[in-house]
Amino acid sequence: MSLLQGLLRNRKALVGAGILIVIVLLAIFAPLLTEYGPTQRVGRPHQPPSADHWLGTTRLGYDVFTRLLYGARVSLAVGFGAGLLITVIGTVLGIIAGYKGGVVDEVITFFTNMILVIPNLPLLLVLAAFIGQASPLVIAIILGFTSWAWGVRVTRSETLSIRQRDFVKSAEMLGESSWRIMSFEIFPNLISIVGINFIGSVIFAVITEATLEFLGLGDPNTVSWGIMLYNAQNASALSVGAWWELLTPCVALAVLGLGLALLNFAIDEIANPRLRTGGMLARWVGLVRAGEGRL
Amino acid sequence: MIFLLRRLAFYLAAFLAAATINFFLPRLMPGDPIRMMFASAGSELSLENLNALKLTFGFIDAPIGEQYLAYLRSVFTGDLGRSIKYFPLPVTDLLGRALVWTVGLVGIATLLSFSLGTFLGVMAAWHRGTRLDTAVSLSSIFASSVPAVVVSLIMLFVFGYTLGWFPNGYAADPMLDPAWSWTYLSSVIYHGTLPMLTLVIVLTGGFAVTMRNNMINLLGEDYIVMGRAKGLSDQRVMLWYAARNALLPTVSALAISLGSVLGGSLVAEVVYNYPGLGNTLYQAILARDYPVIQGQLLIMTGAMLVANFLVDLSYVLLDPRLKRA
């Protein structure tokens, strides 16, 4: 059963994908859904939600709903962009290290382990602090180049076991070039690991971008969910009672997190059938239990 | 023994790498690195003090190689420079003050989450496929997919502002003097509850999922079937056969997350205005107090490496095969 078929049959995956699709559509059609611009002062400061401003206004008089829609673009772009970068670097290095072995493997593994033990968040903070006000693009690039280590480790160990299989041996006998073996024999067998790595990296990138921006390391002129949090915190939104300014990006990030979590969970279930709820093992245990009661 | 020595050498190299990043970053940035590092000091620093600070960070009139060695010398002698915002206060002193709060708050929260997460993981794995399992696994994964900022802010909004059950900030009532008195301690506990709860929500999920997956993988083993076949009670098989063996990888995860305690719970401390290491780092970022930021990276890396080394040590003790390797 391929990963895609499995996903289509899994209810959690469908709900997760549904949430993501809705957010993507809202982001794409932002200009059609709201009459205001995201950086346009359209009302008095800190207006509560009303018919004119569905989610109220910020301290600067921006429309919160509009910023929510446009902010989704940046948050999604950074999440998926950085997630893709992390996954590509991790997968490529992992396959090369696992298949080539020898010195290449040792060098890659050494750097991977080193990055794994240097704590990620402080490293990112130091980098971002020196860069100053990091734009979303810069944040995505920093994330991509500092966070691939976990992917390399997992991909490498899986490649090591696939390398021993017969079809790889026979491809080697046939004299296929090593890059061809790596990309057409080994890579297709790693799809589910790549999928878990990708979704996990997207979650990580979304969370980290929001955190860095909340901490004031982002560019305050961008319109993103992290910057919305930062502005709300700076405007002391909670103490002046403007809960809509702060809770809107919070709920948005939580919903996005929920969608990604469901997808992650589903891929994990499909990739490791043992962990699946209601699988063969559980049914067997159920049978045993039923028997126990009667004896 | 050779295994441990090799690991030790590796950790030394990793620490060196972190120090090297600290050294090269300001020099790689466009503009004058000295101006960049000490810009916020302005005219408050006397020339003499500024020169001492420059020396600590290796800004000397010498080739880059010698500058690097000068910097490493100060790092390995434990001199992390002085805070610029709170000038003449050494970075180590500043971080030392915050350390107590962070170790208390995050340390206890980590241990609580570990116990709770392990318990939930065992229950979910044992009753896999049931509603309990789905509820535990899904909420665990959900909790680790939402930024900690969001959890902290929502908790603060609900329990701090709306319901008013807990204070909105600080580690203790600012009117009280620190003392080993009941009034002061109860104030510390009262102020710490909300950040603690937030951290437990954020951290528990990871432990629960790890434990559940480890344990489900073990439940297919022959000795589990054997235990059941012998007619042992469910509870005995669950706790003494499955959970005990599944605990090993989780304990190493615990050691690693205790190692990252020093990173604090950056976000929770900032949101609740808690005077720990995370908040110190945040204040340093706002003031662009680079010596403090760089010192934090080194100290956190150091703590992480020590934790990793302890894990290696425990493996050697628990797995006799490694002793010979």
Q: Round the average pLDDT of chain B to a whole number and report it.
A: 81
Total Cβ atoms within 10 A of residue A130 = 19
User: Is residue B35 a part of any domain in this protein?
Assistant: no
Instruction: Give the number of other CB atoms < 10 A from CB of residue B200.
Output: 18
What three-state secondary structure class fits A89?
A: helix
Q: What torsion do the CA atoms of B224, B227, B229, B233 make, to the nearest 10 degrees?
A: -120
Residues of A in contact with B263 (CB under 8 A): 119, 121-122
Number of domains in chain B: 1
Q: Which residue of B has its CA nearest to A247?
A: B154
Task: Tell me what pLDDT residue A286 has.
Answer: 34
Q: What tens digit of pLDDT does each residue of B127-157 get?
A: 888 888 888 888 888 887 888 888 888 888 8
Confidence of residue B40 (pLDDT cuts 50, 70, 90): low
* B305 CB-contact burial (10 Å; exposed 0-12 / middle 13-18 / buried 19+): buried
In chain A, which residue's Cα lies nearest the Cα of B26? A130
> Does B309 reside within a domain?
no
Domains and CATH numbers, chain A: 3-294 (1.10.3720.10)
8 Å CB contact of B157 and A247: yes
Give the closest-approach CA distance of A36 to chain B in angstroms: 26
Are B219 and A275 within 8 A, CB to CB?
no
The ipTM, to two decimals, is 0.82
- Quick check: A229 and B149 CB within 8 A? yes
More confident residue, B260 or A266: A266
Phi-psi region of B172 (alpha: psi -120 to 50; beta: other; left: phi over 0): beta
- Assess if residue B88 is contained within a domain: no
| pLDDT recorded at residue A95 | 93
What's the pTM value of the predicted model, to 2 decimals? 0.84
Alpha-carbon distance A177 to nearest alpha carbon in chain B (angstroms): 34
Least confident range from A157-161, A260-264, B43-47: namely B43-47
**A130·B267 Cβ contact <8 A:** no
Mean pLDDT of A286-293: 32
Asked if B17's CB is within 8 angstroms of A118's CB, the reply is yes
CB contact under 8 A, A253 and B21: no
Residue from A99, A90, A77, A94 nearest A206 by CA: A77
Which pLDDT score is estimated for B314? 78
| Alpha-carbon separation of residue A234 from A290, B137, B272, B301 (angstroms) | 60, 36, 14, 30
The reply to whether residue A214 touches residue B154, judged by beta carbons under 8 angstroms, is no
pLDDT given for residue B36 in this prediction: 67
User: B44 lies in a domain?
Assistant: no
CATH code for the domain of B149:
1.10.3720.10
Q: Which residues of chain B lie closer than 8 angstroms to A214, CB-CB?
A: 147, 149, 267
**Residue B266 resides in a domain:** yes
Note the pLDDT tens digit of each residue in A182-195.
888 889 888 878 88
Contacts of B209 (CB under 8 A, 6+ apart): B121, B137, B140, B141, B144
- Residue to mutate among A20, A113, A130, A145, with most B CBs inside 10 A, is A130
Angstrom distance (rounded) from CA B295 to CA B311: 24
Cα separation, B273 vs B152, in Å, equals: 11
Answer yes or no: is B246 within a domain: yes
Q: Reply yes or no on whether the pLDDT at A278 is more than 60.
A: no
- As a whole number, mean pLDDT of residues A249-275 equals 83
Query: Residue A128: CB partners within 8 Å, gap ≥ 6?
Result: A134, A139, A142, A212, A217
Q: Distance from B122 to chain A by nearest Cα, in Å?
A: 13
Residue B57 covered by a domain: no
Percent of chain B with pLDDT over 70: 90
Of B134, B260, B297, the CB nearest to A126: B297
Q: Say whether A238 and B141 touch across the interface (CB within 8 A).
A: no
Structure confidence at residue A276 (pLDDT)? 53
Q: Which domain holds residue B105?
A: 99-288
Q: pLDDT above 70 covers what percent of chain A?
A: 91
DSSP-based helix, strand, coil % in chain A, nearest 5 = 75, 0, 25
